Amino acid sequence: MASIAFIGLGNMGGPMAANLVKAGHKVIAFDLVAASRDQARADGADIAESSVASVKGADVVITMLPAGRHVLSVWQEVLPAMARGTLIIDCSTIDVESAKQAHALAAKHGVGSIDAPVSGGTGGAKGATLTFMCGGDDKAFAAGKPVLEKMGKKIVHCGGGGAGQAAKICNNMILGISMIAVSEAFALGEKLGLSHQALFDVASTSSGQCWSLTTYCPVPGPVPASPANNDYKPGFASVLMVKDLTLAQDAANAAGAATPLGKHAQEIYKAFDAAGNGAVDFSGIIQHVRKLAGK
Ligand code: NAD
């Protein structure tokens, strides 16, 4: 079994590290927050005094941090302390440019690297059912896959460095746009006197079918487990959707791609967030859509 350093033990990283312990790996964990370190200790990880201390002797280092600047800063600190030929994996959702810079840093230190953002949320992190979208060379991917398999059920090699982040933001741009589309359809159906169940029964088995409708339905009733039935408690908070749609727009601008609906979706979620709804599940956007009527 491998010796794995895990840095960033928040809502996602905490349960992911716990699953590596459960799988029999030796996990040396670190987070800036004492409560997160205590939880990881209770889950069976050894706790290091710093990021740098955690990576000493590690075969694999995993980071799960808020944004690109945190990842670059931690990788800059820990890479000089890592042995050549070991592996570093970043599972955070960050911008493609920072991911590429992180890969270049690792290469400079003779360390293999993968960007491996995830889909599946905190439920997937706890249940070890995440999807990992990976960018990196074949050797790094082959070395990282058995470790990622202990935290997820689907591990996809998307291409070279940065390709995992590219796949993640493209997927979440579809998600943001499709949730608004489904919400608009329900809001229109309400005005036309159509019941939620009738629209669901038709669209879920017709060409309007999509994940935002069938798994995360934004009105209560048709899909009992969707956050709409639980006062729109996340789930996936709207502030994270703003983050991902902004990463998609930054990437589109840098690459010269036209994403007019992605841009509009970003503006709509930003307005929802600015009205104090950042902590509301992203399917709560239907409330905002309803308010737009008549404006
Ligand atoms: P979080 O804020 O709960 O956890 C981040 C952790 O990183 C915190 O515990 C923080 O103390 C720690 N941290 C920050 N800087 C550090 C440093 N220098 N050294 C050590 N620890 C440091 O966030 P999260 O929900 O766990 O998300 C982590 C990443 O996963 C984000 O990039 C997010 O976009 C992505 N993500 C989240 C979800 C979700 O549903 N929460 C789903 C998919 C992807």
Looking at the chain, which residues constitute the CATH 3.40.50.720 domain(s)? 3-159
Q: Is 40 in the pocket of ligand 1 (CB under 6 A)?
A: no
| Ligand 1 centroid, distance to 19 Cα (angstroms) | 17
How does pLDDT run along the chain (295 residues), one tens digit per residue? 899 999 999 989 999 999 999 999 999 999 999 999 999 999 999 999 999 999 999 999 999 999 999 999 999 999 999 999 999 999 999 999 999 999 999 999 999 999 999 998 888 999 999 999 999 999 999 999 999 999 999 999 999 999 999 999 999 999 999 999 999 999 999 999 999 999 999 999 999 999 999 999 999 999 999 999 999 998 899 999 999 999 999 999 999 999 999 999 999 999 999 999 999 999 999 999 999 987 6
> Taking the model in full, what pTM does it have?
0.94
pLDDT of res. 17: 98
Q: Is 172 in the pocket of ligand 1 (CB under 6 A)?
A: no
Closest CA to ligand 1's atom 39: 121
pLDDT of res. 168: 98
pLDDT of res. 165: 98
pLDDT of res. 295: 67
pLDDT of res. 123: 87
**DSSP string for the chain:** --EEEEE--STTHHHHHHHHHHTT-EEEEE-SSHHHHHHHHHTT-EE-SSHHHHHTT-SEEEE--SSHHHHHHHHHHHGGGSPTT-EEEE-S---HHHHHHHHHHHHHTT-EEEE--EESHHHHHHHT-EEEEEES-HHHHHHHHHHHTTTEEEEEEEESTTHHHHHHHHHHHHHHHHHHHHHHHHHHHHHTT--HHHHHHHHTTSTT--HHHHTT-SSSSSSTTSGGGGTT--SSBHHHHHHHHHHHHHHHHHHT---HHHHHHHHHHHHHIIIIITTSBGGGHHHHHHHHTT-
pLDDT of res. 122: 87
Best residue among 50, 65, 92, 93 to mutate for probing ligand 1's pocket (most ligand atoms within 8 Å of CB) is 65
Closest CA to ligand 1's atom 12: 8
- Give the catalytic positions in this structure: 168
* CATH superfamily name and code, 3-159: NAD(P)-binding Rossmann-like Domain (3.40.50.720)
* CATH superfamily name and code, 166-292: N-(1-d-carboxylethyl)-l-norvaline Dehydrogenase; domain 2 (1.10.1040.10)
Q: Is 39 in the pocket of ligand 1 (CB under 6 A)?
A: no
Question: What separation in angstroms does the CA of 35 have from each of 10, 63, 103, 286?
Answer: 10, 18, 31, 35
Q: Is 64 in the pocket of ligand 1 (CB under 6 A)?
A: yes
Question: What separation in angstroms does the CA of 136 have from each of 31, 143, 171, 222?
Answer: 25, 11, 19, 41
Q: Is 122 in the pocket of ligand 1 (CB under 6 A)?
A: yes
Q: What is the ipTM metric for this complex? A: 0.99
